[in-house]
């Protein structure tokens, strides 16, 4: 992922239980009866050490720069996955669609691994391992993003799978044990929280789709991030006036993994992803939508009667343990697709 992304935002934490096994024969003779002791459940261990986590962040920055310089998707795929990879590739695609004169030279950057605030949970054998980090791209500066790195056991590597631009420099108050490790909790179906990832995702989509009218303002208390999503809805749906319409809607979401860390108040920090669409359409025949240069990679400069844009977003929210609204603390979005029916080449009014 590049240093800045334009914003328009599976965890298994239950302990593995080893069942007791008892072998019995059909013979009623007590001498033939055998019992087995119940093995102790596996002891949770940190996903990795602090030093290893900082090395993961440093390696990510190095390879990310190498990939971005050449827009090398295969190279990028070794350090990114999920919505982060989808958003990064969309930036590559958008850049490649611009005239060469409009392509800005790539400027290398990196996360400051030494100042990263690490949240490393404990996991038992067989559980998916991941950790979160509050990151800054400038040495000495407060973190401005929160990210999740997940292990890919098959490839024996760690990859960035979620990153969110935070609305505030005040970080969530993550609960840490005596050794400084965080506690991972279920992000979906967790009855100990006021909302889980699916409820939060629906609330975010409603902020875009209705301005929060149905569920968004019920799920979230007002924050800078949630107000910004509502502002996107309100401003964008009015941009054409009487010449056209804009409709936001939820879309098929490939990125269902969500991550949650316990906070000191008994609630949790949740990081999740959502996908939504924005459909612009002319009000009547004789009008057309003229794509911008940034749309050229998908729309090739061809006027359209309607355009549906797809956005992939990463979101972060703090959720209380009791029944109360959650707080959206940041989100990051990128356009990943655009499509729509073209119009004829005859001159028409513009929308």
Alpha-carbon 11 to chain mean position: 14
Count CB neighbours of 65 within 10 A: 16
Query: Is 180 part of a structural domain of the chain?
Result: yes
Query: Is 11 part of a structural domain of the chain?
Result: no
Query: Is 284 part of a structural domain of the chain?
Result: yes
Query: Is 6 part of a structural domain of the chain?
Result: no
In this structure, the strands spanning 244-250 and 157-165 are: unpaired
Query: Is 92 part of a structural domain of the chain?
Result: yes
d(CA 107, CA 44) in angstroms, rounded, equals 41
Are 223 and 329 a contacting pair, CB within 8 Å? yes
Partners of 62 in beta bridges: none
Residue 67: CB partners within 8 Å, gap ≥ 6?
Answer: 73, 75, 76, 79
Structural domain tally of the chain? 1
Torsion of CA 41, 44, 45, 46, to 10 degrees: 170
For residue 12, count CB atoms less than 10 angstroms from its CB and return exposed for 0-12, middle for 13-18, buried for 19 or more: middle
Structure confidence by residue, pLDDT tens digits, 302-336: 999 999 999 999 999 999 999 999 999 999 999 99
Structure confidence by residue, pLDDT tens digits, 106-161: 999 999 999 999 999 999 998 999 999 999 988 888 999 999 999 998 888 999 99
Residue-range definition of the domain harbouring residue 141 = 45-350
Of all residues in the chain, the percent with pLDDT exceeding 70 is 87
Query: Is 34 part of a structural domain of the chain?
Result: no
Query: Which candidate, 119, 123, 124, 111, places its Cα nearest to that of 270?
Result: 119
Query: Is 280 part of a structural domain of the chain?
Result: yes
| Averaged pLDDT, 174-200 | 97
Alpha-carbon 311 to chain mean position: 12
Query: Is 188 part of a structural domain of the chain?
Result: yes
Q: Provide the whole-model pTM.
A: 0.85
pLDDT at 28 over 50: no
What pLDDT is recorded for position 15? 34
Are 330 and 167 a contacting pair, CB within 8 Å? yes
What pLDDT is recorded for position 36? 61
Structure confidence by residue, pLDDT tens digits, 61-105: 999 999 999 999 999 999 999 999 999 999 999 999 999 999 999
């Amino acid at each position: 992922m590049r240093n800045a992304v334009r914003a328009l935002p599976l965890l298994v934490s239950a302990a593995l239980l080893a069942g007791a096994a008892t072998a019995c024969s059909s013979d009623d003779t007590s001498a033939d009866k055998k019992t087995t002791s119940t093995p102790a459940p596996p002891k949770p261990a940190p996903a990795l050490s602090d030093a290893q986590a900082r090395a993961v962040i440093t390696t990510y920055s190095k390879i990310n720069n190498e990939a971005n310089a050449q827009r090398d998707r295969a190279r990028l795929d070794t350090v990114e996955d999920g919505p982060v990879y989808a958003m990064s590739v969309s930036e590559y695609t958008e850049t490649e669609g611009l005239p060469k004169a409009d392509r800005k030279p790539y400027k290398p950057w990196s996360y400051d691994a030494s100042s990263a605030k690490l949240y490393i949970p404990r996991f038992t054998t067989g559980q998916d391992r991941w950790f979160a980090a509050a990151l800054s791209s400038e040495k000495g500066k407060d973190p401005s993003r929160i990210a999740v790195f997940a292990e890919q056991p098959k490839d024996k590597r760690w990859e960035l799978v979620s990153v969110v631009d935070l609305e505030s420099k005040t970080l969530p108050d993550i609960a840490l044990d005596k050794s400084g490790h965080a506690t991972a909790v279920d992000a979906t179906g967790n009855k100990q929280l006021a909302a889980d990832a699916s409820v939060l995702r629906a609330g975010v989509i409603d902020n875009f789709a209705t301005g929060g009218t149905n569920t968004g303002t019920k799920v979230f208390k007002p924050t800078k991030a949630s107000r910004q999503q509502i502002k996107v809805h309100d401003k964008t749906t009015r941009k054409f006036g009487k010449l056209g319409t804009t409709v936001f809607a939820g879309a098929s979401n490939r990125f269902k993994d969500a991550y949650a860390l316990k906070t000191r108040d008994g609630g949790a920090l949740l990081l999740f992803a959502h996908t939504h669409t924005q459909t612009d359409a002319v009000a009547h025949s004789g009008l057309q939508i003229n794509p911008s240069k940034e749309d050229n990679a998908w729309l090739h400069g061809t006027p359209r009667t309607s355009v549906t844009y797809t956005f992939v977003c990463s979101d972060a929210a703090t959720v209380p343990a009791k029944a109360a609204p959650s707080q959206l603390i940041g989100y990051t979005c990128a356009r990943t697709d655009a499509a729509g029916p073209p119009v004829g080449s005859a001159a028409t009014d513009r929308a």
